Copies of this chain bind each other. A is one copy, B any other.
Amino acid sequence: VLDALVADLAADPPARRLVVLTDDVVAPLYADRFVRRVRRRGLSACLIVFPHGESHKNRRTKGWLEDRMLELNVGRDAAVVALGGGVTGDLAGFVAATWHRGIPVVQVPTSLLAMADAALGGKTAVDLPGGKNLVGAFHQPWGLYADTRVLETLDERTYRDGFAEVVKAGAIGDLRFFRWLESHAEALLERDPVRLEQAIGACLRIKGGVVVRDETEHGLRALLNFGHTIGHALEAVSRYRTTHGRAVSIGMIVESVLAVRRVGFPEPHAERLRALIETFGLPVRYRGRMAPEAIVRATRRDKKVRDGRVRYALPRRLGSALPGSDVTIEIDDAEVRSALAAVN
């Protein structure tokens, strides 16, 4: 896939110069090789490396990257290559969205989470201390290139993290895919390349189908946020030390309790969801190290808040959304507290 990308870049360059943004974990594995290949094809390219981890996906790192780009005289005739996981895609995508009021970005996800979810759909952002992804932009990529072979080098914990979004895709959008995941979890955990490609393809189809209908989230797209209202709150309260996948896993469990109580999500579906999350080695219990009250408070910073009231995107059954164009429902803090307690 890296070869295909380099060939595409050479055949129809998005810009006169490429700026590869990547973190210090991915850089030694792929960045130098990529930059060398690109240069061999006669394209101009430079590399900027920032420290890895969600706790660096903030305005300070964005400003630091911009200062480096200014030093390197990166102009409007450049394009960003976001080479890395979800954090890199969000951060580098946002840098591209605002550099000289917007230059192209090529998404090259290297984690399962980014391949199956984050790199598609044009959402870019940085976190604020008080809340996840609160400052950002919609900025669709020039292209998305996912090479499943790079998943072989992921450490087990980061690899498993990605299954949170894979399970979510099935839970909100496709019962058949959810069933397929139940049957193929073992092969996926063993990183079977054929199964992986099928799973990622299915996730991208499900997400793509939602995004093309509601690119800037006026309604339907909120559905992709299942598990994320609680998930983002957990991340913020943990100061972004809890990974996105683990936070969303717990988030889906808590929110499925809400779904059972409020929108008739069948209890057996909640059971299957929990079982599948557990199969992938992801947490299904909110461990009480974080104060429930802090989590409830953090949900008030969610982007789906309306009139000061927090709204949740809940599936009605496995694989299907609430009817109508608004897939969210208002839920008060007391119910959320009770759901948090139920999964403790």
Q: Which residues of A does B touch, CB under 8 Å?
A: 16, 59, 63, 66-67, 70, 73, 75-77, 94, 97-102, 123-125, 128, 130-131, 133-138, 216-217, 300-301, 303-308
A-B contact pairs, 18 of them (CB 8 A): A16-B306, A59-B63, A66-B135, A70-B128, A70-B134, A73-B305, A75-B303, A75-B305, A75-B306, A98-B136, A99-B135, A100-B135, A101-B133, A101-B136, A101-B137, A101-B138, A101-B217, A102-B137
The answer to whether A134 touches B100 (Cβ under 8 A) is yes
Tell me the nearest residue of chain B to A304, going by C-beta.
B76
The residue from B70, B128, B134 contacting A130, defined by CB atoms under 8 A apart = B70
In the bound complex, residues from chain B placing their C-beta under 8 Å from that of A217 are 101
In the bound complex, residues from chain B placing their C-beta under 8 Å from that of A123 are 101
9 further A-B pairs in the complex, CB-CB below 8 A; given A66-B134, A70-B301: A59-B63, A66-B135, A70-B134, A73-B301, A75-B303, A99-B135, A100-B136, A101-B133, A101-B138
In Å, the complex CA distance between A98 and B133 comes to 10
In the bound complex, residues from chain B placing their C-beta under 8 Å from that of A77 are 305-307
The answer to whether A216 touches B102 (Cβ under 8 A) is yes
The answer to whether A131 touches B307 (Cβ under 8 A) is no
In Å, the complex CA distance between A269 and B204 comes to 58
Q: Which of A66, A131, A134, A306 has the most CB of B within 10 A?
A: A134
Distance between A328 CB and nearest chain B CB, rounded to angstroms:
12
In the bound complex, residues from chain B placing their C-beta under 8 Å from that of A97 are 137
Given the contacts A101-B125, A137-B98, A137-B102, A76 and B303 also touching, CB distance less than 8 Å: yes
